[in-house]
Structure 1
Amino acid sequence: KVDKSSLSQQTLMELFAEGITPRQAYFMAYPNTTAFNDITQWQGLTFDNETKDLLTIHWYTAIYLLCADTELHLDHLDYASLSQQTLMEMVIDGIANTEKICGSKENPNDISEWKGLTLENQHVTEIEWEELDIEGSVHLQWLPPTISYFTIHKNCLLGTIAWQDLPKTLAVLSVSCNAFTGEIDLEHLPQQMKVLWAFQNRLSGTLNLEKLPPTMTSLHLSANRFTGSVSLTNLPTTMVHLEFCANSLSGTIDVTRLPSSMKVFRLGKNNFSGITDFGHLPESLGYLFVDYTQLEGEIPKYEGLDVKIEGSNVTNNGNAIVNS
C-alpha cells in the first residue's frame, strides 16, 4: 500500500486515471502519446484559485474505464506513462523526513526544486542524496527511466531493494552506509551498470559474480552478511575494482583469471581457505588484500603492487606491505 496522504494531487490523479483510455479525450495527454500532462491542463477539473487544491471533477463524455479503483494497485500501473513527478514521489513515499528533499510531505515541490536532482529537458538524469540523514525506505523500482546516476550514500535507510526492477539506464548506483537488508540479485542488474557500491549494509545471501553486467568496472560489497563461495573466473573484462571484505564468505578462490584491467582487489576478513596460486595476477593490480583469511600461498614480486596479508598464511615476496 502507498500512503496516499504523502502524494501530490498530480500523482493521485495520474494513479486514478491510469486505466482510462483514450487519455486525449480529456487532454490528459498530447496526441500520439500516453504520458500525462500537468493536471491543470486536464479538461473537467476545477481548482481553488488561492490554494490550487483540486475541487471538482466533471467527466461526462463516454470513456472506457479499464480500472478506476479506490485502491492503488501499483503492480498493474503503466510505468512508462507516469510523469517524472509522479515517479519521484513514489520513490520517496517511504521516507519519513521528505522535507530534506522536496519540502512538505503533503504538498511536495515540483521536482525541479528538489534537492540533489539533475534534470535535462525536464527529465531526471542524476540524483545525489548523500549524507542527508534521511530515514525510512526508498522504492527504487520507481526511479525514472531516464536516470543514469543515483547515490543515497550514508543515510538511515532500511528495507529491501528491488534489484531486478532498476531502470535499464542506470549506470552508477551507491546505496552504501545504510541498513538495507535482503539478498542482492547480481544476475539481473541493468546491463549498462558500471558502478555498484552497497558496502556497510545488512545484505545477506550468496554472491553470484558469474553474470555481472559486461560494463561493470567497480563492485564494492564489503561489510555485509554474505555467505557461501565466490567464483572469480568469469568477471567482466572491464572490472577495475572488486571488494567484498568483512563478510562471511568461504571456500577456496581462483585468482588466476582476474581481468587484465583489475587494479584493486580486496577480499580480506572472510573465511576463505586453501592453497592459492598468486602467480598469475594481472600486471595492472595495485592493491591485493587477503588479510584475516585462512588462505595459503606466496605472492610473487609484482611491480607497483601493495599487499595486506596480516592474519593469514599468505607470504609476500618483496611487495609493499599495507598495515593500516
Structure 2
Amino acid sequence: QIELEKQGTISLEWLPDTVTEFCISNRKFKGTLDCGKLPKSLEIFSVGENRLTGEFHVSKLPEGILCFDAPYNLLSGILDLQKAPQWLDYLCLEGNRLCGDLVIGRKVPIKILMFGFNDFDCTIDLTSLPFDTEVCECGNNGHHGTADLTALPVYLQQLDVSSNKFEGSIDLTQLPATLTILCASDNTFSGTIDVSDLPPDFEHLFIDRNRLSGDLDITHFPDTMSVAHFEKNAFDGTLTVGNLPDTLDSLFLTENNFCTKRLFENGTHTRSDRVFADFFREGQFAALKTEDE
C-alpha cells in the first residue's frame, strides 16, 4: 500500500506489472488512462471520481482483470463488450463521456454492468445483455427506440433504463424471476401496462413520467412490494386498488387522469392511511367516481 496525496497528477503507465489491486477513488487526480499500459497482473482497478482522461478500450484491459471501476471521470470512447477479458465480471463507467454505438453480447462474462450518465445516442438491445448479468444500469443516456423486457438475463436483479428516449409499449409480464428493482422513469413509454404478474420477490417499480394510459389495476402486487411510482403519466381509465401488501411503503399515483375507481379492502391490507397519503391530500382519489356509481 502506498499513501498518496489528494489531488495532483498521476502517471498510471508507471505502475509495476506486479500490482494486482489499485484503488484511488475520490482523490481528484488528473492523468491519462491508457488501458493497454495497465499492470499485466492487475485484477482490481478502482479509480472513481477523479479527473482521468483517455480513450477507454475494454479489449486492452489486462487479461486477468476482475473489476474495472472508473465512474465519474472524463473517459471517452465507445463500449464494445464483446471484446471484454474473460474474467471481467464488474464494469462501472458511469458518469464519463462514452458515446457512439454500444456493442454487447450474451456470452460476455460481466455480472455487474453500469454505464449510465454518458453521452450515448444509440439503440440498445436489452435482450442481448450478457447471460450472467445481475445488475444493469444504463439510465441517463440517450438510448432510443423500444425496450424489450421479455427476454432479459435469467439472473438479473436490478435494471435501470430511466431518463432515456425509449418509446412504445413496455411489457412487464415476462420479467426474470430474480428481478427486484426496475427503474424506467422519464421516457416516453405509451399504451397500457399490466403489473399483475411481477416477479415473486419484486420490491421497487419506477414507471413514472411516461405516457402510459388506460386502466391501472394494482390488486396483484407481490408480497415483497415496497415502492411503486406511477405518477405523471396519462392514465385515463379505471384505477383498481386492493390487496396491497403490508410491505408497501410508498405508492405514487398523482398527476394522472383516472376517471373511475374500484377499491377492494381485505383485512389488514387496507393501507389507505399511509400509502395513499399523497393521493388523498389533493382529494383526487376520494373525488373519483366509483365504478358502481
Pair 1:269–1:171, CA change in 2 (3 A): same
**Superposed displacement of residue 116, structure 1:** 2.6
Structure 1 counterpart SS, 2:247: coil
Residue type of the alignment partner of 1:226? F
Tell me by how many angstroms 1:319 deviates: 4.1
**1:180 aligns to what SS in structure 2?**
coil
Q: Secondary structure at the match of 2:122?
A: strand
Please report the RMSD computed on the Cα atoms of aligned residues, expressed in angstroms: 2.8
Which of 114, 119, 124 is 1:174 aligned to?
114
Work out which of the residue numbers 307, 310, 317 in structure 1 matches 2:251: 307
Displacement of 1:167 in angstroms is: 4.9
What residue identity is the alignment partner of 1:180? Answer: F
Equivalent in the alignment of 2:99: 158
Contact 2:101/2:122, CA 8 A, preserved across alignment: yes
Query: Distance in 1 between the 2:72 and 2:276 partners?
Result: 33
Could you report, residue by residue, the CA deviation over 1:86-109 in whole angstroms, capped at 9, with x for unpaired residues? xxxxxxxxxxxx94434xx8x834
The C-alpha deviation readout for 1:35-58, integer Å capped at 9, x for no partner, is: xxx9xxxxxxxxxxxxxxxxxxxx
Give, as a single letter, the amino acid of the residue that structure 2 aligns with 1:101: L
Q: Per residue, is there more helix in 1 or in 2?
A: 1
Q: How many residues align?
A: 221
Deviation at 1:219, TM superposition (A): 0.5
Which residue is 2:150 aligned to? 210
Name the larger-Rg structure: 1
For structure 1, the 5+ residue unaligned runs are 1-7, 9-37, 39-97
Q: Is the 8 A contact 1:147 1:167 kept in 2?
A: no
Distance in 1 (alpha carbons) for counterparts of 2:79 and 2:180: 29
What corresponds to 1:224 in structure 2?
Answer: 164
Match of 1:133 among 56, 65, 74: 74
Task: Report the secondary structure of 2:33's partner residue.
Answer: helix
What percent identity do the matched residue pairs reach?
A: 24
1:185 and 2:125 aligned? yes
Given that 2:70 and 2:94 are in contact with CA atoms closer than 8 Å, whether structure 1 keeps it comes out as yes
Alignment of 1:143 with 2:84, yes or no, is yes
Q: Conserved in 1, the CA contact under 8 Å of 2:45 and 2:67? A: no
Cα offset, 1:322, TM superposition: 8.3
Cα contact 1:307–1:319 (8 A) shared by 2: no
Q: Deviations over 1:127-180 (max 9, x none)?
A: 10111122343433321111111000111221121023x653111100011111
Give the TM-score taking structure 2 as reference length.
0.68
In the other structure, the counterpart of 1:101 is: 33
1:210–1:234: 8 Å Cα contact kept in structure 2? yes
What is the TM-score normalised by the length of structure 1?
0.62
**1:262 has 2:202 as partner:** yes
Q: 1:109 to 1:99 in 2, by over 3 A?
A: farther
SS in 2 for 1:141: helix
